[in-house]
Amino acid sequence: MSIALPEPASAGASRTVRFLTASLARELGILLCLSVLFPFMVHVLPVPGDARLGPRLLPMFYAPLLAALWGRARSAWTLALAAPWLNWALTSHPAPPGAIVMMVELSGFVFVLRALLSGVGARWYLAAPAYFAGKAAALLGAAFFPALIGGHAALNWAAQSVVIGAPGITILVLINWLALRHYPPGAAGGGPAAA
């Protein structure tokens, strides 16, 4: 599917812009599979009692983090918007209110991560401030719509989420560091790009 957009008057020609190429479809397919696989793998790990590993290890953030770090902006945004709903459709987790909160949180995460990549370049620690920004976006949404978090106080919910998610934040920073160390952003056309 393509759309022809006119070039500036000086060019006098038109170019074709492709919104969904075979390469992008393959990339999205792989990343969407990972965005379902990571949480599923975390949820099937045996844990004592009623402990839930998803909020502790933050597996929903792994695929969007990789996509954003490697300059795949369209894929990162698609994951932020679609992954919570795909997980809900396939595993019934998170529930629809949680999927809305997760969608807002992932969108804030991707937005700030992309902004930081453009502003300071690829750094090993970018996942942490991006996570906190995503949590702040979710906090704002929860403050306006407390039913999304079960009617709890939004600030207490956010603080508790950050404390519970501390191991996951560490994992995000580790993934950030490993991705940049072993598969660093490359020049345009030569591998992942930083921005």
What percentage of the chain's residues is helix, strand, coil (to nearest 5)?
70, 5, 25
CATH code, domain with 123: 1.10.1760.20
How sure is the predictor about 43, in pLDDT bands with cuts at 50, 70 and 90? confident
The residue ranking higher by pLDDT, 12 or 22, is: 22
C-alpha–C-alpha distance, residues 41 and 29, integer Å: 18
- Identify the domain containing residue 70 by its residue range: 26-182
Q: Considering its fold, how many domains does the chain have in total?
A: 1
The residue ranking higher by pLDDT, 18 or 145, is: 145
- Please check whether residue 102 is in contact with residue 60, taking contact to mean a CB–CB distance below 8 angstroms: yes
Residue 13 pLDDT exceeds 50: no
Instruction: Give the pLDDT score at 5.
Output: 47
Query: Is 193 a member of any domain?
Result: no
Query: Is 89 a member of any domain?
Result: yes
Query: Is 16 a member of any domain?
Result: no
Q: Which of 36-40, 120-124, 130-134, 169-173 bottoms out in mean pLDDT, i.e. has the lowest?
A: 36-40
How sure is the predictor about 28, in pLDDT bands with cuts at 50, 70 and 90? confident
Closest CA to 69 of 14, 24, 127, 13: 127
C-alpha–C-alpha distance, residues 101 and 149, integer Å: 8
Query: Is 14 a member of any domain?
Result: no
C-alpha–C-alpha distance, residues 10 and 75, integer Å: 32
Q: Residue 153: what are its φ and ψ, rounded to 5°? A: -65, 125
pTM of the model: 0.82
Query: Is 192 a member of any domain?
Result: no
Query: Is 120 a member of any domain?
Result: yes
C-alpha–C-alpha distance, residues 188 and 59, integer Å: 29
